[in-house]
């Protein structure tokens, strides 16, 4: 399985959902490969033994199609006799907000040419960031809890009836890293000095480097001898931008201890390059990153009230609180706590409670019934 699969949250969501459905009696999952006849075997299906459906005729035999990662076009959906579910795995409303008010092209670098400010090296943006709303309403829209607050009303008004679906995870990405890289990234004990890191993707306001960097700097004020460096993964594309350079140069952590890195697999970095992970979210308080870090036994400094009892919690948008949490982790951490283990199991695909909730969601779609949140 190519490592690129594990760098994409939607692809991981497809894997986790497919593997969980395989474990459930009376449910037979398939992977729909669309456009038709372009993919004889879906690569995820080939890796995880889930059959592929790649023709409209075969797809018409399915009771439910769950759209996740692609959008089926009207040439199929208008004739499809079954139920159609949209699985909303991202913070669609926030991304649509950004798309509405940003230029059609996003990102890029600001340069001055002939006295004029110009953006260069831009990436496509606009509607693609939030997704174009289709012209057909769904029979149901499943929203994971971390996006329920922002997406529920928007979904009910624009897309279809909204239902809360459990956020689910499995350690498959970590197992792949262990096999492909030949490493066992599990926690092996306290380091002499600590290498800190953030893995937030830095593609929108939901998860960025800002608070983790400031929290690391706050901790450094108090325990400078304990902090070896701060690695900003997924931030190398920001190098050269005035805002990023200003942030790096103005925090209390010396620039010699800060590095902007590309995207790397968590399993390849923990224990080898990274000893402690700091993260920050805004209306996105459940993330695969959390479970990977906690499963392997490393300290997770975070601001998610959903798992305040696990890892090392700090208050929203408060770098001083974040710095205190980093210090607690450095001072106290020596492997996973019972709260860490319980937090991971709560979202594991093998948890019967998660399987039962998805069974109820499936039957509610088939029966046309509304179920509780």
Q: Which domain range does residue 156 map to? A: 3-90+132-170+349-367
Q: Is 276 found in the same domain as 166?
A: no
Q: Is 284 found in the same domain as 240?
A: yes
A 10 A CB-CB count for 239 gives 12
Q: Give dist(CA 221, CA 253) in Å, integer.
A: 8
Token couple for 311: 């890892």
The C-alpha angle with vertex 368 and arms to 347 and 139, in degrees rounded to 5, equals 70
Number of structural domains (the chain) is 2
CATH number at residue 296: 3.40.50.2000
Residue 306 within a domain:
yes
Q: Is 316 found in the same domain as 224?
A: yes
Q: Is 216 found in the same domain as 340?
A: yes
Q: Is 342 found in the same domain as 357?
A: no
Neighbouring residues of 324: CB distance < 8 A, sequence distance ≥ 6? 218, 219, 314
Contact indicator for 267, 173 with CB cutoff of 8 Å: yes
Q: Give dist(CA 298, CA 329) in Å, integer.
A: 10
Q: Is 180 found in the same domain as 85?
A: no
Q: For the chain, what is the total number of helices (H) and then of strands (E)?
A: 14, 16
Residue 35 within a domain:
yes
Residue 372 within a domain:
no
Q: Is 341 found in the same domain as 353?
A: no
pLDDT given at position 372: 45
Look-up of token digits 């059609």: 104
Q: Is 354 found in the same domain as 294?
A: no
Residue 235 within a domain:
yes
Tens of each residue's pLDDT in the chain, 373 residues: 445 567 678 889 999 999 999 999 999 999 998 888 788 888 888 889 999 999 999 999 999 999 997 788 888 888 899 999 999 988 888 888 887 776 544 444 545 455 444 445 555 444 444 555 666 789 999 999 999 999 999 999 999 999 999 999 999 989 988 888 888 999 999 999 999 999 999 988 899 999 999 999 999 999 999 999 999 999 999 999 999 999 999 999 999 999 999 999 899 999 999 999 999 999 999 999 999 999 999 999 999 999 999 999 999 999 999 999 999 999 999 999 999 999 999 999 999 999 999 999 999 999 986 544 4
């Amino acid at each position: 399985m190519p490592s690129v699969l594990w760098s994409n949250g939607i692809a991981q969501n497809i894997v986790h959902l497919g593997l969980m459905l395989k474990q459930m009696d009376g449910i037979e999952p398939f992977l729909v490969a669309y456009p038709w006849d372009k993919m004889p075997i879906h690569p995820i299906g080939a890796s995880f033994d889930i059959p592929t459906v790649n023709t409209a005729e075969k797809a018409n035999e399915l009771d439910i199609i769950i759209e996740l990662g692609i959008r089926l076009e009207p040439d199929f959906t208008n004739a499809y006799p079954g139920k159609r579910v949209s699985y909303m795995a991202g913070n669609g409303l926030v991304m649509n907000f950004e798309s509405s008010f940003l230029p059609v092209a996003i990102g890029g670098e600001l340069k001055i040419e002939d006295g004029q400010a110009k953006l260069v090296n831009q990436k496509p943006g606009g509607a693609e960031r939030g997704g174009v709303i289709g012209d057909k309403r769904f029979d149901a829209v499943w929203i994971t809890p971390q996006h329920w607050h922002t997406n529920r009303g928007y979904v009910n008004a624009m897309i279809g009836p909204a239902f809360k679906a459990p956020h689910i995870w499995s350690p498959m990405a970590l197992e792949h890293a262990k096999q492909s890289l030949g490493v066992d990234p599990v926690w092996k004990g306290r380091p002499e000095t600590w290498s800190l890191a953030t893995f937030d993707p830095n593609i929108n306001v939901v998860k960025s480097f800002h608070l983790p960097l400031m929290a690391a700097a706050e901790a450094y004020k108090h325990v400078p001898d304990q902090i070896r460096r701060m690695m900003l993964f997924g931030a190398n594309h920001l190098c050269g931008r005035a805002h990023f350079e200003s942030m790096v140069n103005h925090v209390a952590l010396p620039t010699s201890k800060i590095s902007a890195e590309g995207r790397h697999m968590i399993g390849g970095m923990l224990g080898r390059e990274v000893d402690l992970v700091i993260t920050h979210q805004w209306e996105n308080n459940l993330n695969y990153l959390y479970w990977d870090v906690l499963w392997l036994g490393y300290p997770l400094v975070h601001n998610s009230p959903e798992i305040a009892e696990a890892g090392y919690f700090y208050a929203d948008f408060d770098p001083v609180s974040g710095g205190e949490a980093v210090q607690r982790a450095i001072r106290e951490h020596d492997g996973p706590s019972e709260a860490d283990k319980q937090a991971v199991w709560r979202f594991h695909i093998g948890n019967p409670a998660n399987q039962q909730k998805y069974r109820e969601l499936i039957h509610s779609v088939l029966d046309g019934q509304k179920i509780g949140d």
